[in-house]
Amino acid sequence: MKKTVVKIASILAPKKVANYAYDKLTRPQVHKLRDNEVEVLDTAQKSVFPYKGFDIQSYHWPGPGENILLIHGWEGQAGNFADLILKLQAAQFNIFAFDGPSHGFSSRGKTSLFEFTELVGHFIRNYKVKKLVSHSFGGVATTYSLFANQDLNIERYVLLTTPDRFSERIDDVAKQTGITNKVKQRLIHRLNTETGFDANDLNVHDFVKKVNVEKALIIHDKNDSVIPISQSLNVHKHWEASEFESIEGTGHFRILRTEFVLEKVLGFL
């Protein structure tokens, strides 16, 4: 739906347009994997398990070393970590990953931050994970999961970019769709009603103050056009256990397959 059409419809039929924006927010698109990403996934031990009405695809690359969990971003999937997985395998890590609800090879349906978040907690607890790597929105889901589950203790956690305020995700959808501010408020009201949370209270910089993480490293490209570096910097500012490294030349997605970044991640872990 073109933005100009959406703006007109926002005035004539605000409820319908709010529903359209809600679908954009809760039904992620699935993007095609690169050939090497598919190849790495095919080397994993795969299993599917039921979770809150979804069939979740999970992956395991066994290794004799420490357990590590990889958490992809919104509209991402486990295969996006292919280059890092090869590095972790060479370092003998015992690697776990999954496709979130309505992501990757998991089943489709309406989903939200909270289902994603609870799934992260499930993996950390069930597989006794002490080391984590997240990308983008995966940082929101993971930090909230650690905040909500104070019994979870993490030794090392790498965040390859992270949003800060969940409300900024709503702002992004508003810009992408072209909805008016009035319709955006309808959207926020619906989200708050259905989840029982105020979107304005869902901030990573608040979560990290109360998570049990010994050391964290946030890496963010200065020219990231998807998530401004200011968001990661604000998270770092409020997180005593974190280190911060700004980089250049990777953008938001290529950061996952850039050699010098992967070496930094491995060294920190």
Residue 266's pLDDT is 97
SS (H, E, C) 222-235: CCCCCCCHHHHHHH
For the segment 198-233, what is each residue's pLDDT rounded down to a tens digit? 777 779 999 999 999 999 999 999 999 989 999 999
pLDDT exceeds cutoff 70 at 12: no
**Residue that the structure tokens 């499930």 belong to:** 122
Say yes or no to pLDDT of 197 above 90. Answer: no
Alpha-carbon separation of residue 43 from 38, 79, 94, 141, 265 (angstroms): 9, 11, 14, 26, 22
Query: Which pair of structure tokens corresponds to residue 51?
Result: 């979770």
Residue 73: phi and psi, rounded to 5, are -90, 180
Domains and CATH numbers, the chain: 31-165+203-268 (3.40.50.1820)
3 state DSSP class of 158: strand
pLDDT of 44 above 80: yes
Confidence grade of residue 95 (pLDDT, cut at 50, 70, 90): very high
**What does the pLDDT look like over 64-83, one tens digit per residue?**
999 999 999 989 999 999 99
Q: Tokens 């979804």 identify what position?
A: 54
* pLDDT at residue 130, rounded to an integer: 97
- For residue 147, the tally of other CB atoms under 10 A from its CB is 18
Question: Quick one: average pLDDT of 7-34?
Answer: 71
Kind and range of the H or E run holding 89: helix 82-90
CA distances from 190 to 14, 164, 168, 186, 246 (A): 13, 21, 16, 6, 36
Arithmetic mean of pLDDT over the chain: 89
DSSP H or E stretch at residue 68 = strand 67-71
Q: How confident is the model at residue 151 (pLDDT cuts 50, 70, 90)?
A: very high
Six-digit token string for 229 = 């570096």
d(CA 8, CA 12): 6
